[in-house]
Structure 1
Amino acid sequence: MTTTRPVVGRRAIEVLLQAELPKAPGRRLVLVDAAYEARGQETEFGLRIDGRTHWVRVSDQDSVLGITDAWQRHRAEAEPDRADVLVVTGQVPADQLGWDLRAHAVRHHPLAVDRADIVKQLFGAADLDTRMAGERWLLDALLEAEPVDGWPRVGAVLTRDRAVRALIAARLGIGDTTSDTLDLDADTLFVWSRNATGPARYAALSAAERDGIGAWLAMTVGFAAPTLLALAADGRGTDALPLGALASAALSSTAAEAAGFALGTLFGSALASFDALRPFANAATGVLSRWIAQAEGSGPQRSAARDRVLDVLDHADRLAADARLSPLIGADRLLPSGYRARLRALASVLDGPAAPAEAALRELTEHQLSGLYAETTETARTAVRLVRWMRAPLPEVESVAQGVRTHLASSGWADLAVGVLAEGESSRDPAVADAYQRLIGAVRARRAGLDEAFARRLTRWTETACQQAPGGALLIEDVLAQAAAPLARDGGRPLILVLDGMSADVAVQLAGELDRRVWTEVVPKPREGARPARQAAVSMLPSVTRTSRTSLLCGQPAEGGQDRERGGFGTFWKKRHRGAHLFHKGGFEGPPGHRLAPELLQALATDDIVAVVVNTIDEALDDGREGARGRWSLGDIAKLPDLLNAARDYGRPVLLVSDHGHVLDRTPRGRQQPSAEGVEGARWRTGTPGDGEIAVSGPRVRTPGGRAVLPWREDLRYTARQAGYHGGASLAEVTVPVLTFVPSADRIPAGWTLLPIEDIAPGWWRGSDEHTPAASASDTRTPAGGTRRQKPERQSEGIFEVPGQGSLGERTVRSDPYKAQREFVRLAPADKAVAAVLDALLTAGGKLSPGAVAAAAQAATGKSQRNPERFATVLERLLNIDGYPVLQLIESGRTVQLDKALLVQQFLGEPA
């Protein structure tokens, strides 16, 4: 029976010589009982052993005569001063060789080649994992793939896993051959597949080595590895992750069978069976989900992570289109095409009731790419908000005062939403853009109805309205007295920031960006039964800077420029025995190297009242900034972040106010404006009012003769086209936002209260799926913009209220464990306040802001909680018996969370 001898390569011979020649000095013939891989060829190379170079010639011979001839030639050609060695490999049995030849050979007989021994030497190991002895593919591969610097030394035993990991690092470029460990998972393998070099190296391996590596990876990484490697072997490694995403989409498709057949054409022979599809799809989607989470995070790598995800998924969509798979996978929750399909589905229902739009929005936000397409998603959410607003009942404009308050509280948010939609659809889908355009048109038509109703009220109100008879409205000339002066009581030092031209929609954007951990928004205490609300004043007419801003800063009806404003501002505060400083543009901006002017900082360090006029918004109406974007952030306003930081550093409350609002120019290019007589400004003139205009007169009309014609329609103008205009009679122009912030809840002025964050945005903006304040279910808005408290309906037993026993909050404060715990808490709140807080939290689903918690306590007891966070901390000590977190502050103190199950167990001894 013929025995097949092993095949050796150059590296095996080198290791054999390094082991044997030092033991046989002077020997120049080495017989090897193995076939040489380069059959029929002689190979020569130099080999350094013990500091001396040996010149080695390898000759493969199949007969005694051939071996003898090769040795004779070698002796004849050898140079006396060189260490020349002849290595003869072949298939000649040892017993056929004569002693005259064997006498010259190392050990006098052919040397056996043991791959395991050679591998042990290469790794410096004393022993080898027994499983490796029978794995010729692994031993051969380790011999062939040895790095230039050699394999790393491993110590006593070379384990099979260590050997395969080292081989994978050398062959495929995954990991480092010098590392003791290699963190191999699906992420690593799919990342490797995206670079064509790695899969190409894998495809070039022998079939045995590919099978061996594939089997090991299947055990280590999972059953996705064989399919991925099969794709790599086919030269399609870069398709692996996109195909995994498509596999997931096909398996979840309603037409899964048809999608599976289409998918099979994409995989080809790389897919061994459809049973392998599920683990491959799961692994790929797991990797992509982790990548998406990284792309949604923060840090410098976020953009690169986003590009990586979208590159893979866009590739998947292209593959699907080529295979005609796209119609079968529809609105898949991972692919970009699925996101676009859901977006189009949402756009198709914006003309109808709110419920289908809400459902479509949920489908969109549940798509895995909704966070990566954050701007598009937020625009879609804003569109649905407008659908809610369109379907909600519109309160009648009963007075000017109610009109401006409601505008700041609700319709101004609609203006904000229109501005967001008007910027354009970032997905560039014409169907979506057309739907948004139709929605904008419908909203503007409804807003025009509000403006017309308000203008009718404004006409009659203006005839007699003045400081002595404001008709229930906050006049712009009274803002200092009613909003700034309370902040200045008892040595208070407010910073008054006048943002010229700031309309309601801009105000709510800027206020929404303020860090609520630094700034606490406060408002005058409402009448009993009403909810806290922001203040809104009425501008002078026409609503232009020269009259409105001057009246604001002088504290009385006035007109003029900066000198008049400085004089009037100083006089106002001098009457109240306070020094004052007013800074206009150029006066508060710092020289090179300074964020703010040293003069401003010096004034802020004193006890004087300081005001700063910032013209960024008003100037943008001229230069076109608003024509490009409708959204504003704190960073868009010149030096506003620096001014707010300075106010915080000096412990000053901030009054954020404007002198008038504005409307944007959204008329089509080329549209002709009607001719008008007596033009005095962009939005006011003299003469007889026409369609979309009103005539106003009275003490608040600061024009010669006290009369003017003002447009209430936002698309009317009398001068050259600009980005926006002011001076007219629309709600957006006449409403003056008056927002007040204190740097500490301990500094709330007497007669004022904090404004819970839940009470800021209107209900239609939040929607049913967003956070709603606890009391909103039991409040109904009155036509005048106030709030009328309604008796809440009895809740079902086992949730909040048990018939005859009271609400869950009331039962808690009556319980023995609560009474015992209360004895150990210093300055514990009244039981009535605690019960109200618990019920408010339960109604809101277990979470409220500290401000809303304090407001619930105040509503129940009439006692103001000046520091909501401190109040919440006291509640924690009161309710968290034995350290169990019944109630806790989370999200860096921004949210109070109640665990209902623990509350019931700890205090009532009942199952949740």
Structure 2
Amino acid sequence: MSRDLDKSELIRRLDEILPGTGKKHDHRLVALRGWCEVDQVATAVGVVRVVRVRSELELRRLLPGIHEETGFIAYMLEWPAAELPVDVAGRFFGYGRVFRFQRIDRIRNLFGGGRNYVDVDYDLAKSRLGAYLVERFRPGELDTPAGRVTLDGAFATWLKRQWGLDAGEALGLDTLLAWAATNGRGHEMRDELASESAAQVRAELDAFFRRRVGDAGPLVFETWLEGRGRLLLQFAALFETMVEDPTGAPSGAIRTAAGHGLGLNEAKLEALIQPLGRGAEAAFRAVSPAGELQFVRAVLADAEKLISSSEHAALVASPRLPSAWRVRLDRLGAALAEGVDSPSVTSFAAAREALRNLESHVAYLDEASVRTLKRAQFATRLLGWLVVRPDRQYQPGHQVYADAQTLAVWYAQEGGYVDLARRRARGGGESEFELGIARVLAAVDAARVDLDRRFAKGYVEWLRANRPKKPLLAIDQAVATFAAPYLEGGEHRRMLVLLMDGMAWAQAVELLEDLDRGSSPWYPIAWNTQASSTDNGFFTPVLAQLPSITKVSRSAFFAGVPTKFDAKLTNIQDAKVWADHKALARFYTNGGMPKLLAKSDAFDIDGTARQPALTLIKDTNQPVVALILNAIDDHLKASTQVDQDWTVDRIHALRDLLDAAAEAGRAVLLAADHGHVSGQRLENAGRDSDPGEGSTRWRAWIEGDAVREYEVCIESGGHAWAPKGPKIKGVILLADDTRQYGGAHHYGEHGGASLAEVVAPTVVIGAEAIKPKTPGFEDAALEARRALPPSWWLLDVEPAPTIVKETAAKSSPVEVQVELWQEPSPAPVTPAKAAPKPAIATSLHVSEATKKVVTKLGKNALFKARAPDPKKRDVIIRALEILLERKGGVPAAVFGKHVGLPGFRVGGFVSSLTEVLNVDGYEVVAYDPQAKLVVLTPELLAQGFDL
């Protein structure tokens, strides 16, 4: 039996239990478990008589009569009990509850309230913390659902309830440091721990932090008590630099500043540097989700001020300090400038490494940093394009229009990526980073001006030559090429023609990438290559009619014939000419006709699709349905200061239209009537004459007008439209993206003869939902044939492949370039018979050593047994080629491009590879999902297949 409670403790306990002065007292009896050598005590409610009882029988004997007037009586029970018998419980305060009086009981009441199942650990019962808590808190104030309360559990509950520190099982140095930096109550706890009731609790608290966090824990706590928690987080950012770069960081300056600022001796400071340096990332991450970005920003800005600005450049290894971000930006800028001066695989690799260093910096602090990082990525991609220059791999033919053929094909495959990167990389400023981007853009812009002018001149000559077929396709033939033959493939085939007015390839590549995401992706299908078999890339170059304005080129698209040169544009009705399209007439009988909904019938004022449009698309009796989406064309009149990503969600009606098409089993011909040039570089150019006809990118060609170097001209009737007039010979069009004929500066302009305006995106997309559901029936045209980005877009730049042919005398090999397309010509031409036409994107150079390995593997009996399908073996061989060539692993995006898969499907594909290649359990090939890297171990491949 314990007698460790004195009279004062009993009084305090009764004051906790009994109601306060002035309240009505229905019950005057109270039961306690414990012992105290007193007969009565004075409490807040008056004198309380103390009666000690040894058994229940004695309790019943000493109870006053039911109607007997009596004062307050406290019965001290000497036997263990949680509640009194029910027949007497109603007479007691708390309805028969036995209030525990010993320290362990009081601790149990503190954490468990009235629950008798709470077990209190012996270490807690005898600790100074336990004594402090029962003196400081009332029963139930630290209530916890735990069935057992340990010393550490008590610390965790108290620290969380009283001081806001989540010191549970997840407590680590990161949590402690984040709390110390954001909680400003250190002085309050310091005063509390200095009180008489909390004597010796500090020592137990230090031991708790050491057990849970390590030796650095008590030091972080000590710093917080002194009100330096925020300062400690600042130094953690500096310590991180010392950990990341032990030799380059200004360690001496950081140590001096920390010793002075934190008030710690040398030994304590050394004990903090490594743990805080390694834990800084997690600590800042712990702070950020709590909506403390402004706080983090301020902490990092102040951290740099702790040392001299002359030392800031040496902080480059920091993944979060602003100065490190600026230094990394400038290093990338220098690498970009050097790459422009000496474009090579080596200089590009240096820029790519600088970009990766920039990407490893925590740039989540503000939107400006995110935009800057994206600009850096686009600029580095453009440098990769400058190094590779796929457009230079092809020598044009001998015809005057050959440049139009080669460059239009090139542009349809990857020109959109170039122009998208140009648009997004632009900015301004005088830093080394900005100057480096400006150097890259200047070089790419100059190249694009040359390509545009060459194309424009070749295009008007192509028109004058009466539009020779292949590889180019006039826009008035797009429906007859892509839609009509598709519909002939069976009754299950239906199509939605979705004309995206003004969409250039720069927007098309963005939109196609976004469409291929999510659980129900839309993607280019095999029909694209079947409909227009050119052997010159995945996308067919479809060329807008000149001038590349809506009324001319869109009318040609829907009519199936060029817009007549003498047509009055205001009289052309797209719905009417679409209904009369000759290539579609055979699919309609009994008076039916193709339908094109007007904008007012298809869309509400908020841009969403109206029900009549969705109903028409879902109508399976309609072979083809056409709609016009003006989202991009409408945006062209926005300011050059406004930009946006072109995704499915940005075009309000698009998702609903695609869902309706999927429900009706429709493929979608995603097309544009023309593209546009960015307004970012357009300067005003005067007109020689102004008859009132023309726009910002074209003008009427008046007899006597000079055609300048940045212009081309085409006569009326040469498959181009021109306004009527006695002196009008045709039209003059701007041939590059540097000028406009007056007017305000907008997001984009069109009407000229540049690649971006004339090469109109045209691609058939499909989804799994549109495939026939008939068992055993397959339609090869509907299979996914995703067109992946060019290698340089994925930051994968290798030397361009060299194609060789032997001279007549069979002497040393001579490097040659292959013509992309060349029609028969009377001039004698010696073709490179042994050289296949290269792909537009840089192909993989396969060394002789790799060829030897894959050739032996292809003949290997074990390999054939593990991969009996020849097609699967071919794909595996193709995968092994790039893995053997690129030592150290291949990024998923690059690997996917080589084998023909989007990056997000590479993991599953590698899993199928392991089933064939991982012989006897050896990890020959593996995929690292964190690094997004495919890795091959050549030695294990050779061992497994005895190569």
Please report the TM-score for the alignment, with normalisation by the length of structure 1: 0.74
Change (3 A) 1:884 1:330: closer
2: CA distance between counterparts of 1:239 and 1:793?
A: 55
Match of 1:321 among 289, 305, 310: 305
Q: Deviations over 1:793-836 (max 9, x none)?
A: 76475xx45xxxx433x4444434344445xx7x6647556544
Between the aligned partners of 2:623 and 2:658, the Cα distance in structure 1 is 17
Q: Does 1:339 align with 2:344?
A: no
CA distance in 2 between counterparts of 1:876 and 1:746 reads 30
Check 1:267–1:673 CA distance in 2 against 1; reply closer, same or farther (3 A cut).
farther
Verify: 1:766 aligned to 2:794, yes or no.
yes
Alignment of 1:325-724 (within 5 A): 327-328=311-312, 329-331=314-316, 332-353=318-339, 354-355=347-348, 356-369=350-363, 373-393=369-389, 395=392, 398-422=402-426, 424=427, 432-433=433-434, 435-466=436-467, 469-470=468-469, 472-490=471-489, 491=491, 492-515=493-516, 518-522=521-525, 523-524=528-529, 532-558=537-563, 560=569, 564-572=573-581, 573-578=583-588, 579-589=593-603, 595-606=609-620, 607-622=622-637, 624=638, 627-629=641-643, 631-666=645-680, 673=686, 676-682=689-695, 683-685=697-699, 686-687=701-702, 688-691=705-708, 692-697=710-715, 698-703=717-722, 704=724, 707-723=730-746, 724=748
Match among 226, 251, 254 for residue 259 of structure 1: 254
**C-alpha distance in structure 1 between counterparts of 2:148 and 2:191, whole Å:** 30
Question: Scaled by the length of structure 2, what TM-score is found?
Answer: 0.71
Percent of matched pairs sharing the same residue: 23
* SS across alignment from 1:653: strand
Q: Specify the SS of the correspondent of 2:361.
A: coil
2:206–2:217: 8 Å Cα contact kept in structure 1?
yes
1:482 counterpart letter in structure 2: T
Corresponding position: 1:908 with 2:945: yes
CA distance in 2, matches of 1:542, 1:377: 38
**Cα gap change, 1:24 to 1:459, in 2 (>3 Å):** closer
CA deviations over 1:587-633 (Å, ceiling 9, x no partner): 222599984332442343224211111122222223x1555116422
One of 130, 135, 155 as aligned partner of 1:144: 135
Structure 1 residue 662: Cα displacement = 1.3
What whole-Å deviation, never above 9, does each CA across 1:425-448 have from its counterpart, x for those lacking one?
Answer: 7xx886644554454344333322
Letter of the aligned partner of 2:260 in structure 1?
T
1:71-220 equivalences in 2 (<5 Å): 131=123, 135=127, 137-147=128-138, 149-150=140-141, 152=143, 159-175=150-166, 183-207=170-194, 208-220=200-212
Rounded to whole Å, the distance in 1 between the matches of 2:542 and 2:424 is 25
Note the alpha carbon deviations across 1:677-717, whole angstroms, 9 max, x for none: 33522122222234322221252111146621112143333
Name which of structure 1's ranges 210-219 and 591-600 shifts more when overlaid on structure 2: 591-600
SS at match of 1:635: helix
Letter of the 2:419 counterpart:
D
| C-alpha deviation, 1:316, in angstroms | 2.8
Q: Gapped runs of 5+ residues in structure 1?
A: 1-5, 31-43, 53-79, 86-112, 296-303, 857-866
Other-structure match for 2:220: 228
1:817 and 2:811 are equivalent in the alignment: no
Structure 2 counterpart of 1:740:
764
SS in 1 for 2:764: strand
More divergent stretch after superposition (144-153 vs 742-751): 742-751
Question: Could you tell me whether the CA contact under 8 Å between 2:38 and 2:50 is conserved in 1?
Answer: no
Distance between the aligned counterparts of 1:205 and 1:378, measured in 2? 51
* Alignment equivalent of 1:240, drawn from 210, 217, 232: 232
**In the alignment, is residue 274 of structure 1 matched against residue 261 of structure 2?**
no
**Residue pair 1:655, 1:741 contacting (<8 A) in 2 also:** yes
C-alpha displacement of 1:274: 2.8
- How far apart, in 2, do the equivalents of 1:544 and 1:321 lie? 57
User: What secondary structure, in the 3-state scheme, does the structure 1 residue paired with 2:599 have?
Assistant: coil
Aligned-partner Cα distance in 1 for 2:846–2:405: 35
Paired residue for 1:788, among 834, 838, 846? 838
**Contact 1:509/1:632 (8 A) holds in 2:** yes
**Counterpart code for 2:261:** L
Over the residues paired in the alignment, what is the CA RMSD in angstroms?
4.8
User: Distance between the aligned counterparts of 1:47 and 1:740, measured in 2?
Assistant: 92
For 1:497 and 1:155, the matched residues in 2 are separated by 63
The alignment covers a number of residue pairs equal to 788
Secondary structure of 1:659 counterpart: coil
Distance 1:197 1:118, change over 3 A: same
1:541-585 Cα distance to aligned partner (Å, 9 max, x none): 111111111111111112646864223322324433345221231
Q: Does the residue aligned with 2:352 lie in a helix, a strand or coil?
A: helix
Contact 2:403 2:454 in 1 (8 A): no
Q: Please say if residues 536 and 820 of structure 2, whose CA atoms lie closer than 8 Å, have aligned partners that are also in contact.
A: no
> Shift of the alpha carbon at 1:199?
2.8
- Work out whether residues 223 and 279 of structure 1, in 8 Å CA contact, stay in contact via their aligned partners in 2: no
The separation in 1 between residues aligned to 2:838 and 2:584, in whole angstroms, is 41
In 1, the alpha carbon distance for the partners of 2:925 and 2:771 equals 23
- Shift, 1:730, TM fit: 1.6
Asked if 1 retains the 8 angstrom alpha-carbon contact of 2:504 and 2:760, the reply is: yes
CA displacement at 1:474 relative to structure 2: 1.0
- 1:409 is displaced (CA, Å) by 2.6
Check whether the contact 1:582–1:611 (CA below 8 A) recurs between aligned residues. yes
Q: Which residue of 2 aligns with 1:110?
A: none
**What's the CA shift string for 1:37-67, capped at 9, x where partnerless?**
xxxxxxx744898999xxxxxxxxxxxxxxx
Structure 1 Cα separation of the partners of residues 912 and 145 of structure 2: 60
Q: For the Cα contact (< 8 Å) 1:494–1:654, is it kept in 2?
A: yes
